Amino acid sequence: MQVSTEQLFTQARTHNGYRPTAVSDEQLRALYDLLKWGPTSANCSPARFQFVRSVQGKDKLLACVAPGNVEKIRQAPVTAIIGMDMSFHDKLPQLFPHTDARSWFAGNDAKIAETAFRNSSLQGGYFILAARALGLDCGPMSGFDAAKLDAAFWAGTTVKTNFICTLGEGDPSKLFARSPRLSFEEACSLV
């Protein structure tokens, strides 16, 4: 499928308001079917996703987020909760079958936490760009009560929330002015 770097990067914006255009199951499946191919360490793929669209789900979510994020989430057709499975290594026999990669992690909680956080965040980057590739605008956020959100959405699992992200057809009238970025010289060096 053809997309443009303008759509992915240079003209894409973080959205704060949405039009009432529904996002279908098919769109969410297509989103996962793109992002899942992004690389992770030993193919560990720790990210887990809950796509919150129902009134009940939204109410449960709104009770867990910072006041400044309530209206954005209320208006968005979908808010994704991007979690990380702290038992991701139990799936390595399936995901990385040619060697015993599970044993690299089992019992090493610090390594598990670091790997889950790094790689689910990388997958969060793939998620945002895959959504944009499919024409969905995004509003990633980290303003929420993590313990409350985990209890409300991931109880009985080994998943913890990494960040949340609204999805839909953005309302350009609600955009803020674009903030500057660091120059190449400020952020990069050639060695």
Tell me the window of 67-75, 133-141, 166-174 that interacts with a copy of itself (CB under 8 A).
133-141
Q: How many residues bind a copy of itself (CB under 8 A)?
A: 71
**Among 17, 18, 27, 48, interactor with a copy of itself by CB under 8 A:** 48
Give whichever of 86 and 95 is closer to a copy of itself, judged by the CB atom: 95
Specify the DSSP element, H or E, that contains 164.
strand 159-168
Question: Are 155 and 81 contacting, i.e. CB atoms less than 8 angstroms apart?
Answer: no
List phi, psi (to 5°) of 140: -70, 145
CB burial class (10 A; 0-12, 13-18, 19+) of residue 145? Answer: middle
Establish if 55 lies at the interface with a copy of itself (CB under 8 A): no
Instruction: Round to whole Å and give the CA distance between 131 and 27.
Output: 9
Is residue 72 within the footprint of a copy of itself (CB under 8 A)?
no
User: Residue 107 Cβ, how far from a copy of itself at the closest point, in Å?
Assistant: 19
Give yes or no for residue 160 binding a copy of itself (CB under 8 A): no
Alpha-carbon radius of gyration of the chain: 18
HSE-up (13 A, CA, CB side) for residue 41: 18
Q: Which of 67, 110, 155, 181 binds a copy of itself (CB under 8 A)?
A: 181
CB of 191 to a copy of itself, least distance (A): 4
Q: Note whether 87 binds a copy of itself by CB under 8 A.
A: no
CA–CA gap between residue 28 and residue 140 (Å, rounded): 16
**Residue 22 binds to a copy of itself (criterion: CB under 8 A):** no
Contact in structure between 140 and 164 (CB atoms under 8 Å): yes
Residue 187 touching a copy of itself (CB under 8 A): yes
129 binds a copy of itself (CB under 8 A): yes
19 vs 118 by CB, closer to a copy of itself:
118
Q: Which residue of 74, 102, 117, 169 would you call a contact of a copy of itself, by CB under 8 A? A: 117
Q: Which of 27, 69, 75, 123 binds a copy of itself (CB under 8 A)?
A: 123
Residues 6+ apart with CB under 8 A from 74: 58, 62
